[in-house]
Structure 1
Amino acid sequence: MDVALVWVLAILAISLGAILAMNFWTDSGNSQFKFLRRRSKNFLRRKFARFLRLFPTARTVPKRQESDYRSEVPLNKGDLGESLFNSLSPKLLNSSFAEEESAIQLTVEIQKKLPNFYLNISFETGSKPLGILGASGAGKSTLLRCIAGLETPDRGRIVLNGRVLFDSEAKINLPSRDRRVGVLFQDYALFPHLTAAENIAFGLPKGLSRLAIKQRVEAQLAAIQLQGMGNRYPCQLSGGQQQRVALARALASEPEILLFDEPLSALDTHLRYQIEKLLVARLAHYRGVTLFITHNLEEAYRLCPNLAVIERGHLVQQAPKQVIFTHPRTLSIAQLTGCKNFSRAVTVAPHQVSAIDWGCTLQVAESIPKSFSHLGLRAHQLIFTDIPSAENTFPCWLTATSETPHRMTLFLKLNSSPTSPHDYHLQAEVFKEKWAMLQNLPFPWFVQLHSERLLLFSEGERKSEVENSDFEVQYSAL
């Protein structure tokens, strides 16, 4: 608190001096002084925003209207008190944080020849974590390595927060150590000859005193819940502990961007859950760009508000996560996001399609796109009903089952009984409580393919740029 008070008093002193000077300059009518006045106000705004980053608890005040503050501090119009209040009002502080947030941006436009395909990716992202999905070998890791400076694109440009990291035309290619990038790989990449504390210290900025290094390392160890274990070597730590040390090392360098390449894939279920919770907590306070590669869809959905899908070196869709799952653009994106039921389809009427592989005609809720070629339905969205006359409802027979600890997958054939265990149209996932009710019912059962749950998409095209869509605009504020 004493340190915070000193900062406040110092800032107030600077503010009063600046305001007095600005009042004098304004009276002089000199246009140059008016320009300096604007610079002084911006300087004050930046200094106070930096103060709040150093002392985040000072930001946690009750939400109140600006008029509430004014009523407690009687001010006369035009005097120094009103000028000072306007400089420090909640509205101004909020705008300064908004400006800082909007300044966080990564722009990538690169091309690189790979053995099996040509990497050609263009995208932009801000402070919200971006999850990167794609099949193995799609170019996800190569993309991260190019951003980190571990690989060099053939041509293109990479810009982080206004700093050019790579520009083939301008012959700019900053080395990794100068890019302010934190990288966390699946194999942790800890130095085996260094202790946990020394591994974390390795990522710290150069020029710090021994005391500052010790304090920062201890703070990082406390944040990852490894107090008292700084003297242990990686071989003396569990997999989860090693991953936490690697995370602390990546964050200790105060990077402008964090790159995660499947960091949780080697952990067991319990450790994955624990590290994921820690990661969510740390990212909530991280003010920078985050790219997160994962094959775990639920993990991507929990950690990343936005998702990007890469297919054979091309970015085929980038949007808020809700859009990716509810309106996948292509068949391959739907498959990548876990959709298990597909059928070739043709348009019959404005809101009616024929599902060729399912042998039925269906009503659809949304408008049918021109590029429409396939129909999809997620396995957990099939509805078992006792109303045969309901829309998109068909008789079905059970062909086979597959069991997991909590769910059953039912393989169903529509309109007629199956001739073999492989003779089915759809997969339905139900909880075991639902299965306990279904398994005793006589055939045929009745299943509804709800019109609002049907996915309409094309077979797929490779595109190097992401097209805008109404759905992306709708969710752009998320």
Structure 2
Amino acid sequence: MSIEATIEKNFGSFQLNVSFSGGNEVLAILGGSGCGKSMTLRCIAGIVRPDRGRITVDGVTFFDSERNINLPPQQRRVGLLFQNYALFHNMTVEENIAAGVREKLPQKEKLALARQSVSKFRLDGLEHHLPRTLSGGQQQRVALARILIGQPRILMLDEPFSALDSSLRWEMELEVKEMLGAFPGTTLLVSHSRDEVYRLAQRVCVLEHGTSEPVQTVQDLFERPTTRAAALLSGCKNYARCTPCGSRELEVTDWGIRLHCAAEIPPDTNLLGIRRHYVRPAGQNSGENTFACTVQQVIDDVFSTIVLLRPCAAAQDAQYPILEMELQKTDWAALALTPGDPISVTIAPKDLLLLRDRESPGTAPEAPCRR
């Protein structure tokens, strides 16, 4: 099973321009709030009609603007899990699940199928409960059971853990991971959490301001991001404007320094990214990529110490004047430094992220939630 989607939609102040394909895998759509993630799912489900493009799932054309094809949602057999689960509040657990059966069967047969799902999703004893009497995790299991009983061509999860507290979120993530492993098709996972994406997905499509980036493996996103959007979503905290000044040399204009890179520098590189745990205090034998800084602020985090530094040669008009460093608490304590003290730091050439930066305004509008 597979999906191929090219979607263009003009919302006035916001443009959705998305293109990706996926196979029998969990493909994550990763982006910040208002970037168009949920709107993309609604276009695939048939809730929102694109202006242009083509959407095919498992060889079935859902939408094709050139051929004037636009299947209604009922014919698409899409399993979409909304953030609020969209359960029928006047129906019991059993009846909610039975409502997902697509075949025209007598109600008794639908309920019999639903009872099988009740056991499969560990909802025994809750068959006759209404949704309002259930916990968030139980509601999610009911919603998933209702979706899967309909044998969807594709499964789409719209931030499935956003409404759960941290302890329940982890428990449900384990359950969803097991369920996804048994689903014989493509799953689209919408998320703004890099951790969820890393643990659940095989590949990822980064979405920024309505525009998609090329699909890449999760490993490439974290180890070799190529844009500021991808680096930011993967957890990178440090950035600086830069200009290539050789095949492996960068002029870091924000910090007034030059850094050596292990890899060839793409000519369109205009931003440097550095993960804060790659910034280290310089030792006596530190060589290239060592430069002087001043301690600006010290933040005591839960399991580490985060130190905000300002490179001594940083420009007055620097867009990114601060460099963050993260150390083990004991390592920072051993340095015995306080704000205002000088410190030299070093960054290995292999740890420099060579990025492209672009700006695109606008946020995606809210789409109607339909059951």
Instruction: Decide: shared fold, TM above 0.5.
Output: yes
Range that drifts further, 263-272 or 427-436: 427-436
In structure 2, what residue type is equivalent to 1:453?
A: D
Report the CA distance between 1:304 and its aligned residue.
0.8
CA deviations over 1:430-453 (Å, ceiling 9, x no partner) = 343433434469954442211101
Distance 1:223 1:383, change over 3 A: farther
Aligned pair 1:379/2:276, yes or no? Answer: yes
CA deviations over 1:117-155 (Å, ceiling 9, x no partner) = 322222211111111122322222111101001111122
Aligned to 1:151: 48
Aligned pair 1:357/2:254, yes or no? Answer: yes
1:299 equivalent among 180, 196, 200: 196
Cα separation, 1, equivalents of 2:275 and 2:73: 42
1:346 equivalent among 238, 243, 248: 243
Aligned pair 1:134/2:31, yes or no? Answer: yes
Cα separation, 1, equivalents of 2:180 and 2:35: 26
1:448 equivalent among 314, 337, 346: 346
Q: Give secondary structure in 2 for the equivalent of 1:193.
A: coil
Cα separation, 2, equivalents of 1:403 and 1:424: 21
Report the CA distance between 1:296 and its aligned residue.
0.9
Cα separation, 2, equivalents of 1:266 and 1:438: 42
Aligned to 1:42: none
Distance 1:409 1:216, change over 3 A: farther
CA deviations over 1:381-406 (Å, ceiling 9, x no partner) = 22234235332123433211223322
CA deviations over 1:198-220 (Å, ceiling 9, x no partner) = 11111122234666534532332
Structure 1 stretches of 5 or more lacking a match?
1-103, 463-478
Aligned to 2:367: none
2:232 equivalent among 335, 343, 346: 335
CA contact under 8 A between 2:305 and 2:332: conserved in structure 1?
yes
Identify the structure with the greater strand proportion: 2
Aligned pair count reads 356
Cα separation, 2, equivalents of 1:440 and 1:119: 49
2:123 equivalent among 211, 226, 236: 226
Distance 1:219 1:453, change over 3 A: farther
Cα separation, 2, equivalents of 1:168 and 1:349: 46
Q: Give secondary structure in 2 for the equivalent of 1:110.
A: strand
Distance 1:391 1:241, change over 3 A: same
Report the CA distance between 1:275 and its aligned residue.
0.7
Aligned pair 1:265/2:168, yes or no? Answer: no
Cα separation, 2, equivalents of 1:246 and 1:414: 52
Cα separation, 2, equivalents of 1:432 and 1:314: 40
Aligned to 1:166: 63
CA contact under 8 A between 1:317 and 1:329: conserved in structure 2?
no
Aligned pair 1:392/2:278, yes or no? Answer: no
What does residue range 68-467 of structure 1 map to in structure 2 within 5 Å? 104-208=1-105, 212-415=109-312, 425-439=322-336, 444-460=342-358
In structure 2, what residue type is equivalent to 1:302?
A: R
Q: Which structure exhibits the higher relative contact order, with contacts defined as CA atoms closer than 8 Å and separated by 6 or more residues? A: 2
In structure 2, what residue type is equivalent to 1:313?
A: G
Range that drifts further, 158-167 or 214-223: 214-223
Identify the structure with the greater helix proportion: 1
CA deviations over 1:236-291 (Å, ceiling 9, x no partner) = 01112112211221222111111111111111100110110000000001011111
CA contact under 8 A between 1:395 and 1:444: conserved in structure 2?
yes
Cα separation, 2, equivalents of 1:440 and 1:329: 35
Q: Give secondary structure in 2 for the equivalent of 1:317.
A: coil
Structure index of larger Rg: 1
CA contact under 8 A between 2:20 and 2:205: conserved in structure 1?
no
CA contact under 8 A between 2:92 and 2:131: conserved in structure 1?
yes
Distance 1:312 1:413, change over 3 A: closer
Cα separation, 2, equivalents of 1:275 and 1:317: 29
**With structure 1 as the length reference, what TM-score do the two structures score?**
0.69
CA contact under 8 A between 2:55 and 2:64: conserved in structure 1?
yes
Q: Give secondary structure in 2 for the equivalent of 1:145.
A: helix
Structure 2 stretches of 5 or more lacking a match?
361-371
In structure 2, what residue type is equivalent to 1:176?
A: P
In structure 1, what residue type is equivalent to 2:179?
A: R
What does residue range 28-107 of structure 1 map to in structure 2 within 5 Å? 104-107=1-4
Q: Give secondary structure in 2 for the equivalent of 1:267.
A: coil
CA deviations over 1:141-177 (Å, ceiling 9, x no partner) = 1111010011111222211111111122323221111
Cα separation, 2, equivalents of 1:328 and 1:240: 34
Aligned residues: CA RMSD: 2.5
Cα separation, 1, equivalents of 2:208 and 2:158: 17
CA contact under 8 A between 1:381 and 1:453: conserved in structure 2?
yes
Aligned to 1:66: none
Q: Give secondary structure in 1 for the equivalent of 2:350.
A: coil
Cα separation, 1, equivalents of 2:359 and 2:13: 18
CA contact under 8 A between 2:244 and 2:267: conserved in structure 1?
no
CA contact under 8 A between 2:205 and 2:212: conserved in structure 1?
yes
Aligned to 1:70: none
